[in-house]
């Protein structure tokens, strides 16, 4: 009792006297007084110290807030978080959007960017029927060979072919783009911070460089790109192409659709994963209730027993 009361008195000096009284010893009051540094200080001094503390804390808070407010003006702009329809825990990708996004990729981005890990057969059942996907594949020329005479030849694509690379090799790609290599877009949403948010911001973010910033010849200003100067010119303008489903092809619509398409390309298991999560949650909640019931059942004997001590007679 003595020790515990002492420790309590040290912990809360403010209620020292009350505790001292309840403990009923003069030693306690005396001991706890030794731990107080403020006790002998004049009231005015305390007030000055408190005021200094408040002013100092306020100044530190202000400095922190000011520092935070200028953080965004680092070398690049951080992308906003957009309200994608597939954001929900159980929401699938928008497949009409994937289909439009494929059209954007094919008509605009494919001029410079490869997607070497995506095959035409991957589109089947996702954005296209099998016949449509075959037709898409037939539309590209694939290098094949050698034939019987040892010659390489070109043939129309098949479902099993991967999206063709617009350039024969990286060197050709670089020389056609002022030395910048257009990255393969198959996994780009997983390869960049912000994923599809970043792609959308990047594609719609082109603007004039701010005062005092100049970009080298052949580079373009984009605040979302690290460093601000990107080797890719703005690719999307209103009406650069037409959608087959009649959706007005505004720059932001195309940017959104191609972002969803690239999200699907990088995570084709996205919808299955969320469906599986739903099944797993249902299964686990069932198993949990059964397990809980059995646990209560098995332990009932032990939990409801009463232990009594019978002193020897
Ligand atoms: C005229 C050729 C060209 C076209 C068309 C083009 N790009 Fe690019 N893209 C480039 C080049 C070159 C780079 C490399 C830029 C660099 O590293 O400075 C690039 C880079 C990128 C990057 C990577 C940026 C990063 O963070 O590294 C993304 C994402 C991208 N492009 C998406 C697209 C999409 C989506 C389209 C279609 C709407 C498209 N591009 C159309 C040439 C092009």
The binding-site residues of ligand 1, defined as CB within 6 angstroms of any ligand atom, are: 104, 108-109, 111-113, 177, 180, 182-183, 188, 192, 199, 202-203, 225, 230-232, 235-236, 258
Element holding 96 (H helix, E strand): helix 95-107
Of 188, 194, 235, best ligand 1 pocket probe by most atoms within 8 Å of the beta carbon: 235
CA dist 172 and 167 (Å) reads 6
Residue 130 alpha carbon to ligand 1 centre in Å? 29
Asked whether residue 183 carries a pLDDT value surpassing 90, the answer given is yes
Contacts of 106 (CB under 8 A, 6+ apart): 136
Give the pLDDT confidence score for residue 21 in this predicted structure: 46
How many residues are given for the chain?
313
Q: Could you report the per-residue pLDDT of 253-294, keeping only the tens digit for each?
A: 999 999 999 999 999 999 999 999 999 999 999 999 999 999
How far is the CA of 249 from the CAs of 19, 55, 255, in angstroms?
A: 77, 56, 10
Q: What is the pLDDT of residue 298?
A: 96
Judge if pTM exceeds 0.85.
Answer: no
Distance 162 CA to ligand 1 centre (A): 20
Measured from the CA of 258, which atom of ligand 1 is nearest? 35
Nearest CA to ligand 1 atom 13: 182
- Cis peptide bond upstream of 146, omega within 30: yes
Q: How many angstroms does the Cα of residue 177 sit away from the middle of ligand 1?
A: 10
pLDDT at 37: 66
pLDDT, residue 65, reads: 87
Which residue minimizes the CA distance to atom 38 of ligand 1? 109
CB 183 within 8 A of CB 115: no
Does residue 246 surpass a pLDDT of 70?
Answer: yes
The domain spans of the chain are 2-71, 95-268
Q: How far is the CA of 93 from the centre of ligand 1 (A)?
A: 23
Residue 19 confidence (pLDDT) above 50: no
Annotated binding site for heme c, which residues? Answer: 109, 112-113, 232
CB 35 within 8 A of CB 10: yes
Instruction: Using most ligand atoms within 8 A of CB, pick from 100, 110, 112 the residue to mutate for ligand 1.
Output: 112
* DSSP assignment letter at 93: P
In the chain, what percentage of residues exceed pLDDT 70? Answer: 85
Q: pLDDT tens, 215-232?
A: 999 999 999 999 899 999
Domain 95-268: state its class.
mainly alpha
Whether residue 244 is predicted with pLDDT greater than 50 in this model: the reply is: yes
Q: Whose CA is nearest to atom 16 of ligand 1?
A: 231
User: Please, are residues 86 and 94 in contact by the beta-carbon 8 Å criterion?
Assistant: yes
């Amino acid at each position: 009792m003595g020790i515990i009361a002492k420790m309590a008195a040290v912990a809360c000096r403010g209620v020292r006297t009350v505790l001292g009284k309840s403990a009923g010893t003069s030693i306690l009051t005396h001991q706890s007084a030794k731990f107080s540094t403020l006790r002998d200080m004049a009231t005015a001094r305390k007030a000055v110290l408190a005021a200094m503390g408040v002013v100092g804390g306020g100044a530190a808070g202000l400095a922190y807030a000011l520092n935070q407010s200028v953080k965004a003006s680092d070398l690049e702009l951080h992308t906003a978080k957009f309200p994608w329809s597939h954001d929900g825990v159980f929401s699938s990708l928008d497949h009409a959007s994937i289909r439009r996004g494929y059209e954007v990729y094919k008509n605009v981005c494919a001029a410079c960017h490869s997607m070497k890990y995506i095959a035409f057969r991957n589109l089947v059942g996702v954005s296209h029927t099998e016949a449509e996907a075959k037709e898409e594949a037939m539309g590209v020329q694939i290098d094949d060979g050698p034939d019987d005479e040892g010659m390489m030849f070109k043939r129309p694509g098949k479902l099993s072919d991967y999206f063709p690379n617009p350039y024969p090799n990286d060197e050709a790609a670089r020389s056609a783009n002022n030395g910048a290599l257009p990255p393969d877009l198959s996994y780009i949403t997983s390869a960049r911070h912000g994923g599809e948010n970043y792609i959308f911001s990047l594609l719609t973010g082109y603007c004039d460089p701010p005062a005092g910033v100049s970009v080298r010849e052949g580079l373009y200003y984009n605040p979302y790109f690290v460093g601000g100067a990107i080797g890719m010119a703005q690719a999307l303008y209103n009406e650069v192409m037409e959608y087959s489903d009649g959706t007005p092809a505004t720059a932001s619509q195309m940017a959104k659709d191609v972002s969803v398409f690239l999200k699907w390309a990088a995570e084709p298991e996205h919808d299955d994963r969320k469906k599986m999560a739903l099944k797993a949650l249902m299964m686990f909640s069932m198993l949990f209730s059964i397990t809980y019931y059995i646990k209560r059942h098995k332990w009932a004997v032990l939990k409801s027993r009463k232990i009594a001590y019978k002193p020897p007679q």
